[in-house]
Structures are given as C-alpha cells and as structure tokens.
Amino acid sequence: MGQGREGGRPMSTRPPADHAALIENLRDFIDTEVIPREDLKAAHDGQAVDRVAAELYAIARSRGLGAPRGRPEDGGLGLSWTECCAYLEQAGRSFLGPHALRCGPPTQPDMFALDKLATPAQRQRYLEPLLRGERKSCFAMTEPAPGVGSDPRMLLASARPDGDGWVINGHKWFITGAMKADFAIVVARTEAGPSWFLVDADTPGYQIVRDIPTLEPFDLGGHAEIKLTDCRVGPDALVGEQGQGLAHSQLRLEGARLFHCMRYIGLASRAMAIAQDYATRRESQGVKLAELQMVQAMVADAHIQLYAARTMTLDVARRLDAGESIRHHSSMAKVFVAEAVNQVADSAVQICGALGVSEDTPVSMIFRMLRPFRIYDGASEVHRSAIAKRALRHGLAA
C-alpha cells in the first residue's frame, strides 16, 4: 500500500483491483441513480437541486461512495490525488455528481485549504462541519473593477485592526456557492498584505446583494455579489499567516484547478458520447453522419484531446502526491484541459445539429457549463503569460 500525505495526514492508496471496483461502483451509481435524477427543467431551482443531492448522498454512502479526499470518519474515502482522477471523472459526468459526492467547488478546495491552514479552533468550528456536510462555505476574492480580477495586486477589500479583532470592508462578486454558504473565506488587505478571514454569513455588515445569472445551467449555490460593510470579526478569524493571503489562494487554487480538470473531462466525454450516438443514428445524403469524414474528424479530435487532457491531469496529480511544486505544470494542464473540453463540447453541439443547442439533451448545458472554465481559476491568457515568463526567466526547456 503506497502512502501520500496531505496536511500531515497520511493518505493511503488502494490496491489497483479495489480502486477499479470503486470506479465501477461509481460509474454504475452515476448511470443508474444520478443521471436519471438530473431534471434539466428544474436546473434553476436550487432547493430542488439540493434535495436531490442530499437524497443521492445517502444512496452514495450506502454504496460505500463519498467525498474522495475526505477522512473516512467524516464519510470520505481518503483517496490520493492520482486516485481522484478516475473518481472525479466519473462523478463529473453528471452536473449533480460532484454536488452529491461533496467534491464540487467551492467546498472541496475550501476543505483542502482549511485542512492545511486552520487552527485547531477553526478546524472545529469550520472545517469539521464542512467535512460532515453540516455547513457550507464560499471563497470571496474577486471584486468588480477597479478591484481584483486577473491581477491579484488589485485587491481593494480591507481589514483594519479594531481592538483585538478586525473590521472588514469590501465588495466581492461571482462568489460561487455564496447564496447557500454559512461562512465565507474573505480575502482582504491588511498592513502586512492580503490576508484570509473567516466570516460567518450572519455577521452584521455581511450582505448578499444578488445572485448573478451566468451561463451555468444548474443552480449549485449561485455566483453572488457580496458587500462587507464594517463587518467586525474576532482575532480568531484570521486564517494562516497575515500577509500571506495570495500564497494561501495559490495553494487553494492548485488543487481546485486539478479537480475542475478531472470533473470537466467527464462532462466533455459525456457530451461526445451523446454526439457519437446521434451520429450513428442520424442520416444525411443517404449515409449515417458517422460515415462522413468531417464528422469522423471531429470525433477523432475529441478522443485525442481528451486522452491528452487525462494524461496531463494525471501527471499533475502524481506530482502533487509526490509533494512536488505543481505551479508550472498545473498552469499548463489548466490551459490545455479548459480549451480541450470546450472544443470537445463545441464539436458535440455541432455533430448534434439543432438538437445540440436545445435543452432536449444535456449537450447544450454541458457546453454552457464548460465555457467559464477558460476564465476562472486563471484565464487562459493569464496562465500563458505566466508560463512564458517562467520559461524565459529560468531558461526552461519546452
């Protein structure tokens, strides 16, 4: 049995046959329980989505499935990052899979970061209820212009010392999960630099302004605009080291990106499976679409792209398990996977014709779900710029 580590806690890896059985169990769960409960017409009803997710979690637990990275005592499976690749790909084939298995954003990356950074008291109050699914979190960094977006140095939210605590003021938006979150990890500037604070959603001065409608089809907690006005928190609200908020955000993002890559490979693969099925049934000019070379080229390219995307994701996961820095490689993988899954979903829409843009199949919703991934977790252009600068500065071989 191999051993990796996370937050000082050993993560065991399973014998390959056990892992294969786990993945097969999950594949069957997604096909027979989760996908049949995806009610595309009720996708915007957040309460209905949550009800279904809770029902599915109970079924998942009865089948020995659960949060892939969580501790066994909290209903988690304690998988290594490498083992997560196949697990997240299967879970990600459904819009509801990651939500039902408690491995979707922002919960999963918030748990990962708090596991590394939280004090014993913060673990007890925030992380443990999060792991048990009793509380929900969100991560609040991005601000409307002229505040922080792609450039972390533009952070405007501030936290000033007040007595033994802090007073936070700021304006945040596109905060995933905030509509249902019990607390937020807020990034705000102190004299020492950007810092992380835990802010309960019922703190006076913490206000949800609105849920911002986006391309994303399913309501999994919304993307909210938030205002913090003279929001007072105690000394124990500071997470990690004061002034290290950007390093903490980087730590959180690296795992988050990888999980997004894994999940979205699953979603893109599902879109192409639907397109392939359509191509084998639909005829044009007396032949099946599947016999037309231009359609075949789209299918072949999708397979090549997803194979490359899986391989890159797995390589980054192995590096993470080995305790290596993944900054450069996770940037490269994020750009490639985000663009590959978008191209695959676009081809799936194209092959399905008008049906592909309808909501009669999940294909158009998959296309919408994947498009923002080229923007969040670092826009492709920002990653390309960082990759090139590192390569040129350090003389890295391509």
Ligand X SMILES: Cc1cc2nc3c(=O)[nH]c(=O)nc-3n(C[C@H](O)[C@H](O)[C@H](O)COP(=O)(O)OP(=O)(O)OC[C@H]3O[C@@H](n4cnc5c(N)ncnc54)[C@H](O)[C@@H]3O)c2cc1C
57's CB contacts (< 8 A; 6+ apart) are 66, 100, 101, 102, 133
Asked if residue 156 binds ligand X (CB under 6 A), the reply is: no
Asked if residue 296 binds ligand X (CB under 6 A), the reply is: no
Quickly tell me which residue has 């676009």 as its tokens.
346
In angstroms, give the least distance from the CB of 391 to ligand X: 15
Question: Which residue's C-beta sits nearest to ligand X?
Answer: 149
Asked if residue 95 binds ligand X (CB under 6 A), the reply is: no
- Burial tier of 101 (Cβ tally within 10 Å: 0-12, 13-18, 19+): buried
Asked if residue 381 binds ligand X (CB under 6 A), the reply is: yes
Where does this chain touch ligand X (CB under 6 A) — which range of 136-144, 301-309, 326-334, 348-356? 136-144
Asked if residue 227 binds ligand X (CB under 6 A), the reply is: no
Asked if residue 312 binds ligand X (CB under 6 A), the reply is: no
Asked if residue 223 binds ligand X (CB under 6 A), the reply is: yes
Asked if residue 245 binds ligand X (CB under 6 A), the reply is: no
Closest CA to 81 of 354, 311, 322: 322
Helix (H, G, I), strand (E, B) or coil at 362: coil
Asked if residue 389 binds ligand X (CB under 6 A), the reply is: no
Helix (H, G, I), strand (E, B) or coil at 396: coil
Q: For ligand X, which residue of 29, 81, 87, 174 counts as binding (CB under 6 A)? A: 174
In angstroms, give the least distance from the CB of 223 to ligand X: 5
The Cα–Cα gap between 190 and 168 comes to: 10
Q: For ligand X, which residue of 133, 149, 165, 243 counts as binding (CB under 6 A)? A: 149
User: Is the bond preceding 106 in cis, omega lying within 30 degrees of 0?
Assistant: yes
327's CB contacts (< 8 A; 6+ apart) are 250, 254
Asked if residue 259 binds ligand X (CB under 6 A), the reply is: no
Q: For ligand X, which residue of 94, 122, 142, 313 counts as binding (CB under 6 A)? A: 142
Closest CA to 257 of 322, 341, 365: 341
Region of 285 please: left (phi>0), alpha (psi -120 to 50) or beta: left
Q: For ligand X, which residue of 23, 40, 208, 375 counts as binding (CB under 6 A)? A: 375
- Residues that bind ligand X (rule: CB under 6 A) add up to a total of 20
- State the DSSP code for 213: P
Asked if residue 150 binds ligand X (CB under 6 A), the reply is: yes
The Cα–Cα gap between 373 and 354 comes to: 24
Asked if residue 367 binds ligand X (CB under 6 A), the reply is: no
Asked if residue 385 binds ligand X (CB under 6 A), the reply is: yes
Residues in contact with ligand X by the rule CB under 6 A: 106, 139-142, 149-150, 174-176, 214, 216, 223, 372, 375-376, 379, 381-382, 385
